[in-house]
């Protein structure tokens, strides 16, 4: 026992020593750093590389370890990016913007909002130019706003139209005896379709083509406006892959030419008006935000609260990446009770999730609307549960490319009976009452359990439709006809009465100010994400291995996506209101 105690003491001592050494070195580095503020020099060019994940809201971390060790969380807030470009428009030190992105980790609606702000920047008379070694469609869509577009001489443009790929598992389930028991309402509710069929249903194919075509139409219209080409001309380029190399892209007026990076830098020098042998002042968008340009300064007393609901909806607390009723309702209550907050904007960017959590938030929003104007702004997604929490607002804004609607519900439960029967595993159940055993993954779903669960699904669906009908001043039949789990774009949703206006978060904030009769105000962002002591240790070296990162490296990007989706659908609890199982638009 003495030996074990001494061994344990040595191990603990080693870890404590390591930790203290890391903290000491980090503190020395922090104190020895130059500590200079980021300053925007005259004749600067703002560089947009956009390597980080773009989220609607990415507040600065309050984790002391991250601050001491200068650990970046790899995220950028769209709200700060929009503010920074707005500030750059009137900043005499910024002469123009250079878009030098490669692969942009953002949704199409986020890019559309960012692109619209860049169009406003151009109205100031300052230049925007773009360069990339290779353009994918998202990057080209954003970069097409530029006055000039250049590509590496051996690069090209992947301009071919949009597509969605959905894996189906029915044959796999039949072969191996592992399946998902599914109960749903809505012929378009395709979230669990991969577990029911071995191919896409006609209804899902219809809705998928419809919203893809609507989104593509928006992209083509925006690009065509910027590069002076018609939609027919751009579709001709896409159909023939006529931008796949610099020669074809130039010939078809998709770019202004091919250059190497050093030649492009010379172009920037000329645009700024300095000699080629002089150093060009460049500042990244990240540094520009950190210099204080990521916020709009105001001394106004009155405020508009913007509450960000981003990620899948879960039952519980929630965090920066998931929407939980605890954090959102706390933020709503705080904003509602604040004397300085005169109106509230709920920014929704969610594919949906827990039906129970959605309903709890709906109720808090209903209470909030009775006291202060409530406006909803939709981002990339505001579908199913995401639309559930949006439907009772005084006014709803969506981006033209927002994925929304999907008014439908389902339940999905794993079942291993086929597998266990094959390999000789038998589970026996004992209970005090007829229904006490309930559902077992080792037995086929019995009719009684199915009927009770189906009843819950139907009841929730009716409640969902009625809430939408009440919130949108429509009849139950009108909502039901456009519900059934059907997915719409923002443009289609406006035509169907599910949203009021097409516009950005800025537009929604302005509408909230108008409802509150405000001329001068400032924006206050919610929720506050506070980490507990366990969360704080997650980023300390040697304390916790980043399991997700290791899995991604081992499995590869595509296999990791599939792993995450199977894991996600297998862990669902309760009635779900969410959009299709996997929908990556490419």
Residue with tokens 């924006």: 523
The catalytically annotated residue of 95, 179, 189, 494 is 189
Instruction: Report which DSSP code applies to 446.
Output: P
**How many C-beta neighbours within 10 Å does residue 20 have?**
10
The catalytically annotated residue of 384, 406, 467, 504 is 384
| Cα atoms in the 13 Å half-sphere on the side-chain side of 574 | 15
Instruction: Report which DSSP code applies to 192.
Output: G
Instruction: Report which DSSP code applies to 404.
Output: E
* Contact of 484 with 186, CB cutoff 8 Å: yes
Instruction: Output the six-digit token pair for 40.
Output: 């925007």
Instruction: Report which DSSP code applies to 306.
Output: E
Bond prior to 379 in cis (omega within 30° of 0): no
Spatial distance between the Cα atoms of 129 and 266, rounded to a whole number of angstroms: 12
Instruction: Output the six-digit token pair for 251.
Output: 């010939």
Using alpha carbons only, how large is the chain's radius of gyration in Å?
26
Is 462 an active-site residue? Answer: no
Helix 505-515 with 78-89: angle, nearest 10 deg: 80
* Contact of 150 with 163, CB cutoff 8 Å: no
Is 113 an active-site residue? Answer: no
Task: Identify the burial level of 382 via C-beta atoms within 10 angstroms of its C-beta, where 0-12 means exposed, 13-18 middle and 19 or more buried.
Answer: buried
Task: Identify the burial level of 8 via C-beta atoms within 10 angstroms of its C-beta, where 0-12 means exposed, 13-18 middle and 19 or more buried.
Answer: exposed
* Contact of 410 with 458, CB cutoff 8 Å: no
Helix 202-227 with 108-122: angle, nearest 10 deg: 10
Spatial distance between the Cα atoms of 58 and 61, rounded to a whole number of angstroms: 9
Contact residues for 561 (Cβ-Cβ < 8 A; gap 6+):
582, 584
Catalytic residue list: 189, 384
């Amino acid at each position: 026992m003495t030996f074990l105690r001494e061994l344990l003491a040595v191990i603990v001592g080693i870890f404590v020593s390591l930790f203290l050494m890391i903290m000491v070195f980090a503190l020395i580095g922090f104190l020895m750093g130059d500590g200079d503020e980021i300053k925007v020099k005259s004749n600067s060019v703002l560089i947009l590389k956009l390597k980080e994940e773009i989220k609607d809201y990415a507040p600065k971390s309050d984790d002391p370890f991250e601050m001491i060790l200068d650990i970046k969380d790899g995220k950028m807030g769209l709200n700060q990016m929009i503010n920074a470009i707005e500030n750059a428009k009137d900043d005499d030190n910024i002469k123009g913007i250079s878009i030098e992105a490669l692969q942009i980790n953002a949704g199409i609606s986020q890019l559309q909002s960012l692109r619209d702000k860049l169009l406003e920047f151009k109205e100031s008379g300052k230049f925007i130019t773009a360069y990339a070694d290779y353009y994918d469609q998202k990057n080209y869509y954003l970069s097409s706003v530029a006055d000039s577009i250049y590509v590496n001489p051996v690069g090209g443009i992947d301009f071919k139209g949009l597509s969605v790929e959905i894996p189906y598992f029915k044959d796999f389930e039949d072969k191996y005896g592992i399946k998902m028991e599914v109960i749903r309402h809505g012929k378009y509710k395709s979230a669990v379709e991969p577990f029911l069929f071995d191919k896409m249903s006609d209804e899902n194919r219809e809705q998928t083509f419809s919203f893809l075509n609507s989104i593509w139409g928006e992209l083509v219209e925006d690009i065509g406006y910027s590069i002076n080409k018609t939609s027919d001309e751009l579709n001709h380029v896409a159909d023939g892959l006529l931008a796949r190399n610099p020669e074809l892209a130039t010939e078809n007026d998709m770019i202004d030419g091919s250059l190497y990076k050093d030649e492009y830098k010379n172009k920037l020098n000329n645009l700024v008006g300095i000699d080629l042998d002089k150093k060009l002042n460049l500042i990244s968008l990240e540094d520009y935000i950190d210099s204080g340009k990521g916020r709009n300064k105001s001394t106004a007393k009155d405020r508009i609260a913007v509450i960000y609901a981003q990620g899948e909806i879960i039952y519980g607390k929630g965090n920066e990446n998931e929407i939980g009723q605890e954090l959102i309702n706390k933020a709503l209550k705080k904003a509602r009770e604040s004397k300085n907050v005169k109106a509230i904007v709920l920014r929704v960017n969610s594919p949906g999730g827990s039906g129970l959590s959605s309903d709890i938030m709906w109720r808090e929003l209903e209470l909030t609307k009775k006291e202060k104007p409530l406006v909803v702004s939709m981002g990339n997604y505001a579908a199913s549960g995401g639309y559930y929490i949006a439907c009772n607002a005084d006014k709803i804004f969506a981006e033209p490319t927002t994925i929304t609607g999907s008014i439908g519900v389902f339940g999905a439960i794993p079942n291993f009976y086929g597998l266990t029967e094959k390999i000789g595993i038998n589970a026996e159940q004992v209970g005090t009452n007829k229904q006490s055993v309930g559902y077992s993954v080792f037995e086929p779903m019995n009719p009684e359990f199915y009927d009770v669960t189906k009843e819950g699904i139907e009841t929730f669906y009716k409640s969902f439709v009625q809430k939408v009908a009440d919130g949108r001043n429509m009849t139950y039949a009108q909502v039901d006809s456009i519900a059934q789990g059907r997915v719409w774009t923002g443009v289609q949703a406006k035509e169907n009465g599910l949203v009021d206006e097409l516009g950005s978060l800025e537009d929604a904030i302005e509408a909230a100010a108008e409802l509150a009769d405000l001329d001068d105000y400032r924006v206050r962002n919610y929720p506050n994400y506070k980490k507990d002591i366990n969360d704080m240790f997650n980023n300390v070296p040697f304390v916790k291995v980043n399991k997700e990162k290791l899995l991604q490296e081992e499995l590869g990007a595509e296999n990791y996506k599939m792993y995450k989706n199977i894991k996600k659908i297998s862990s669902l609890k309760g009635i779900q209101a969410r959009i299709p199982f996997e929908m990556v638009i490419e």
